[in-house]
Structure 1
Amino acid sequence: MIGKLDDYLRFHETALSLRSTRQQVLASNIANADTPNFKARDIDFASALQGALKRAGPPPAPAPLNATAPRHFPNPAQGADVLPDGSALLYRTPAQGAVDGNTVDMDVERNQFADNGIRYEAGITLINAQIKEMMAAIQGAQ
């Protein structure tokens, strides 16, 4: 029964998680707008969502990690071009280069940040509607 509920909510859960990650990437771009040689990053949401849904399901058992000191944190190694969920982190192509090598275009970043935020809120609204439908079915609402 719980597995079916997980399957029912998995798409929106995965989409919200990716939206949250993308919001962090966009916020990092905005925060580094004045940093010389900073390259703006983003994710291709559609392909990242498809990849995440293909990987969805019960998570595999984590492999034991070797630590060289007892106080080390058990973090898996990952490249700078891959997010923790396995999605590719891409460089944004600038419309116009800056003298200092920074590729952040604040108009583009603000637009993408607002758009992603609105889509996140829409996802929250949809998942709330799904939960209300399930509650109505469970309670036998008329």
Structure 2
Amino acid sequence: MDIFNRTTVPLLEKALNGASLNQKIISQNIANVDTPHYKAKKVVFRDALDQAISAHRTESRHMSFGGESGYRVTETDEAAMQNNGNSVDIDKEMSKLAKSQIEYQTLVSALNHKFQQYKLVLRGGR
């Protein structure tokens, strides 16, 4: 029996995986800023988040958040920004990258805090 299955650890792990994928996709968009006809991509988190929340419901009367598993990478529906048909807006992508880095660092801090709590319990509160 995995002791972490009934904790927030799997949810934090899923969120970290999504944040990592988001940073990868944003980096690809930035790298292809001058590639003709390249369409910017984005990661869709909501379905995976809803499924994770649903899996951790403790009461049947709580709101259900059904959804499909995994993250999806889709093309953005923004029009071409440049004359060559490229839809990457470098300013938006850099802003998204900064936000994504902060989210990732916050999730890592939350996971570290959770493990510090386990460590404290295992030491008997010392």
Sort the TM-score into its range (normalised by shorter chain): 0.7 to 0.9
Say if 2:80 and 2:86, in contact at 8 Å, map to a contact too.
no
Say if 1:33 and 1:104, in contact at 8 Å, map to a contact too.
yes
1:41-96 per-position Cα deviation (integer Å, ceiling 9, x unaligned) = 00122333224x2797xxxxxxxxxxxxxxxxxxxxxxxxxxxx742212123366
Which residue identity is paired with 1:100?
N
Which residue identity is paired with 1:29?
N
> TM-score scaled to structure 1, two decimals?
0.70
Q: Distance in 2 between matches of 1:114 and 1:3?
A: 35
Offset of residue 140 of structure 1 = 1.1
- % identical aligned pairs: 28
Please identify runs of 4+ aligned residues in structure 1 that moved more than 4 A. none
Q: Which runs of 5+ in 1 are unaligned?
A: 57-84
Say if 1:94 and 1:105, in contact at 8 Å, map to a contact too.
no
Q: What is the alpha-carbon root mean square deviation over aligned residues?
A: 2.2
Q: Which runs of 5+ in 2 are unaligned?
A: 56-68
- Check if 1:40 corresponds to 2:40: yes
Say how many residue pairs are matched. Answer: 112
Residue 98 of structure 2: which of 104, 109, 114 is its match? 114
In structure 1, the partner of 2:23 is 23
